[in-house]
Structure 1
Amino acid sequence: MTTIYLIRHCSATGQAPDAPLTEAGERQALALRDFFQDVPVTRIISSDYERAVASITPFATASELSIETEPKLRERTLSLEPREDWLELLRHSFQDNSFALPGAESGQDATARILDVVDRTDGPTILVTHGNLLALLLQHVDNCYSVKRVWSDPACG
């Protein structure tokens, strides 16, 4: 059985692919380095967005592991334009995983992306990705996870 450690990138200055970590995010990255220092890890796979790579770089450097960048770990595109109703769209997308705005990505498609990466892991691996994509993966494992995170559902306790 392969052990996979899932990491959402550290605090960043924005959502753009080249958004750097904030000062707090840089401290979080150092804390990740310290947290994983005695954990046996043989592979690191990260979204190719700057904030994801920067989040795991201190650990990679300390452990002398390379960071494999993987575009399939990029954040899910919920909308091509900023939306005032983004939270409602997000809720709807978790209720109907085939829902997608024009040109954007459904939860079903994004989940398939990250599952492809998960299926190709071997040995103790760290995956560094983004919040929405990570929530979709966790929802795939336990449907109540995303429901609890995005809205309250009595069926999920």
Structure 2
Amino acid sequence: MTTIYFVRHAHSIYTPDELKRPLSKQGLCDADRLTKMLTKKEIDLVIASPYKRAIQTVEGIARANGKEVMINQAFRERLLSSEPVDDFHQAISKVWSNPAFVWPGGESNIDAQRRGVHATLEVLKQYEGKRIVVGTHGNLMVLIMQYFDRRFDFSFWQQLAMPDVYRLEFIGQELKSVKRI
């Protein structure tokens, strides 16, 4: 059994620089709480998106387990558009209602899911039997989960918290269970 704890990052301070956007004061407190919770799980490996908010959310877990955070570009958030959108909710609704649709310079749900699933399958192959934390982003996390189980959809994404953790258990590359932690 391989266990992946997908961790949606904690609350962050908005800045236009997606890569360097840090956690807010509340986000840092939540990351500490998350560290205490997941340290009890004997984590073998911690992987994160290259975005600062994802790294900050899981770096305490890595440190508590004597591990380094391994950065994996494929777990970065999906790029909705290369330019700011006028109405985020309308823009995100459109890509979920039409998975092939892409805003200018952005990534479709199909492309983002393909990227995230490929990375997940590689993790499952390379670290079979391990307990792995993956610090990532809500949209990508749900797209990955949806690949394995169609019930994870737009309405599921809308109800996610910051942070949020889902434990997925696999035998080989077959999903056996999902539980919110």
* TM-score normalised by structure 2 residue count: 0.78
In 1, the alpha carbon distance for the partners of 2:138 and 2:60 equals 21
CA RMSD in angstroms, aligned pairs only: 1.6
In terms of fraction of residues, the more strand-rich structure is 2
Structure 1: state its 5+ residue gaps.
Answer: 152-157
Letter in 2 for 1:148: S
Deviation digits for residues 62-108 of structure 1, max 9, x if unmatched? Answer: 11111100111111111111112321221121122111012211111
In 2, the alpha carbon distance for the partners of 1:147 and 1:50 equals 25
Deviation digits for residues 98-145 of structure 1, max 9, x if unmatched? Answer: 110122111111111111111122211111101111121222233332
Aligned equivalent of 1:49: 51
Moved more, 48-57 or 15-24: 15-24
Q: Cα 1:58–1:109, aligned 2, differ >3 Å: closer, same or farther? A: same
Aligned equivalent of 2:85: 83
Aligned equivalent of 2:169: none
Aligned equivalent of 1:69: 71
Letter in 2 for 1:127: V
In 2, the alpha carbon distance for the partners of 1:59 and 1:104 equals 32
Identity among equivalent positions (%) equals 28
Deviation digits for residues 29-79 of structure 1, max 9, x if unmatched? Answer: 101110012102111110011111111111111111111001111111111
Task: Spell out the pairing of 1:8-23 with structure 2 (5 A cutoff).
Answer: 8-14=8-14, 16-23=18-25
Structure 2: state its 5+ residue gaps.
Answer: 159-181
Higher relative contact order (CA 8 A, sep 6+): 2
Aligned equivalent of 2:30: 28
Query: Does 2:105 correspond to 1:100?
Result: no
Q: Cα 1:38–1:126, aligned 2, differ >3 Å: closer, same or farther? A: same
Letter in 2 for 1:101: W
Moved more, 51-60 or 79-88: 79-88
> Where does structure 1 differ by over 4 angstroms across 4 or more consecutive aligned residues?
none
Aligned equivalent of 2:137: 130
1:150 CA displacement: 5.9
SS of residue in 2 equivalent to 1:126? strand
Aligned equivalent of 1:155: none
SS of residue in 2 equivalent to 1:120? helix
Letter in 2 for 1:90: I
Aligned length: 151
- Conservation of the 8 A alpha-carbon contact between 1:91 and 1:150: no
